Amino acid sequence: MNRRTAEYWINKLQLATHIEGGAFREIYRSPVMAPLSALPGGFGGDRNFCTSIYFLLQQHQFSAFHKIKSDEVWHFYYGDALIVYEIDQQGKLIEHRLGCDPDNNETFQCVIAAGNWFAARLAPGGEYTLAGCTVSPGFDFTDFELGTQKELLTAYPGHAQLIKELTI
C-alpha cells in the first residue's frame, strides 16, 4: 500500500484550519460535566470531563506557541516525527519527539502540563504528521491563550530563536 498523503487525511477526517496552525476536527466531547466548584482555580465555568481532536501539521506549517488551563496529551497516529516544544513554569524548554521510531527517541504520546506554553512542528525532513490531542478537563476556547512574540521573548529570552520561529 502506498503511503497516504496529508490531503487524504484532511479530506477523509474532514479537518478544518486551526487558529494556531495546521488542521483539526474535534472528535469527542464528554457529555459528563465537571462543575466549576470541582475544578482548580482559574477556570471560568463548568467543563466537560474530556475532549479530543485529530490534528495534522504539514511541512510548511507549525502549531504556534499557546497555552491552556488543562493538561493535554498528544498522541502520534501516522506520518513523520513531530517535535512538541514545551516551556515549563520555570522557563525550562522540553522537547517531546512524537513518532513511531523508539530507536530515534520517538514516543507515541507526550503530556503537556496545564499552564505551560507549547508549540509544534515537524522534525526535519518530514512531510506531515497526523496526531491527536486529548484535553482534561475538556478544552474550551476561553481557556486558550495564543502567545505573542513580544510577551514570550520578554519572559523567555533564552529561547528567542525558537519563539521567533513558532509565533504568529
Three-state secondary structure call for residue 75: strand
Q: Residue ranges of the domains in the chain?
A: 6-93+107-165
Predicted structure pTM score: 0.95
* CB-CB contact of 117 with 87 (8 Å): yes
Q: Round to whole Å and give the CA distance between 33 and 13.
A: 26
CATH dotted code for 6-93+107-165: 2.60.120.10
The two most distant CA atoms of the chain are separated, in Å, by: 51
* CB-CB contact of 13 with 79 (8 Å): no
DSSP secondary-structure letter at 43?
Answer: -
Candidates 164, 163, 70; CA nearest to 113 is: 70
Read off the pLDDT of residues 73-99 as tens digits, 9 standing for 90 and up: 999 999 999 999 999 999 999 999 999
| Rounded average pLDDT over 104-133 | 98
Q: Round to whole Å and give the CA distance between 18 and 108.
A: 22
Residue with cell 464528554: 30
Question: Environment class of residue 119 by beta-carbon count within 10 Å: exposed (0-12), middle (13-18) or buried (19+)?
Answer: buried
Q: Helices marked H in 25-88 — which ranges?
A: none
Read off the pLDDT of residues 13-49 as tens digits, 9 standing for 90 and up: 999 999 888 999 999 999 999 999 999 989 999 999 9
Q: Round to whole Å and give the CA distance between 108 and 168.
A: 27
Q: Round to whole Å and give the CA distance between 11 and 106.
A: 27
Q: Round to whole Å and give the CA distance between 78 and 97.
A: 14
Tell me the percentage of the chain whose pLDDT exceeds 90.
Answer: 95
